[in-house]
Structures are given as structure tokens and as C-alpha cells.
Structure 1
């Protein structure tokens, strides 16, 4: 299993709803076994820069690749990219 985790910061707080809406499009792509978009609760004492988190699980690398190749992925990127400042991504293989 691969855990796909992506962190976003918004250019402005006013963009948060639109960012979440755009990212939720990704949940309609059929290749993940679990998918969620959440706002960061910002309760960490050291760092609270992240505004939105995408967490998804995929059976294998082929499923993750198919997810990223899906046309809806491009549409979500087109909607969210102008609204976000930073995007950090990690793909972790679960044992």
C-alpha cells in the first residue's frame, strides 16, 4: 500500500474553500482505496503553515500512477494551482 500525503498553503485565507473544493474532485478518481481532504487544525506548537492536507491510499504504484494520469487530476490541478502558495507531497510505502 502507498500512502499519498500532500500539504498545501493558500495564498490567502479566502481561497481555502475553493482549494478544498478543487481537491475534493480528486476523490472522484476511482484508483484510491481511501481519500480525504481536510483543513489543518493548526494546533501544533511549532509549525502551523499548512492549511489543507490531502491523504489518500493506493494499493500499489500502478494505482497511484493511474490516479495521477486521470483527466480529473489535471482539472483539480488547474483549479487549485493559482490559489495555493506551497505544495509538498510524500508517497510512503506502508509495510
Structure 2
């Protein structure tokens, strides 16, 4: 299983709910076995710059690649990119 986590900062805090709404479309892409998108709770004492978190799980690397190649992914990226300041992503295998 591959875990995919993406962190976003918003250019304008007023757009955070809109960003989350747009990002939720990613959960409809075939091959996603688990999907969540939410506001960052900002309870960390050291760093709270992240506004939005996307968490997804995929059966394997091929499923993740298919997800990123899907038209919904491209459309969501087009819609969200103008609202975000920063995007950081990590993909890693799950260890049981």
C-alpha cells in the first residue's frame, strides 16, 4: 500500500473551505482506497503554516500513478492552484 499526503497553504484564508471542497473531488477517482481532506487543526507548538491536508491510500504505485493521470486530478489541480501558496507532497509505502 502507498500513502499519499499533501499539505497546502492558502494565499487567502477565506478560500480554505473552497479549496477543501474542490480537493474532495479527488476522492472520486478510481483506485483510491481511502481519501480524506480537511483543515489542519494547527495544534502543533512549532509549526502551523499548513492550512489543508489531503490524505489518500492506494493499493500500489500503479494505482497512484493512474490517480495522478486521471482527468479529475488535472481539473482539480487547475482549480486549486490559484488559491494555494505552497504545496508539499509525500508518497511512501505503508509498513505494517
Partner of 1:70: 70
TM-score by length of 2: 0.97
Give the unaligned 5+ runs of structure 2.
none
Runs of 4+ aligned structure 1 residues displaced above 6 Å come to none
Cα RMSD over matched residues?
A: 0.6
Give the unaligned 5+ runs of structure 1.
none
Structure 2 CA distance for aligned equivalents of residues 86 and 21 of structure 1? 18
Partner of 1:44: 44
> 2:59 matched to 1:59?
yes
> 2:19 matched to 1:13?
no
Structure 1 CA distance for aligned equivalents of residues 21 and 38 of structure 2? 11
Structure 1 CA distance for aligned equivalents of residues 64 and 23 of structure 2? 16
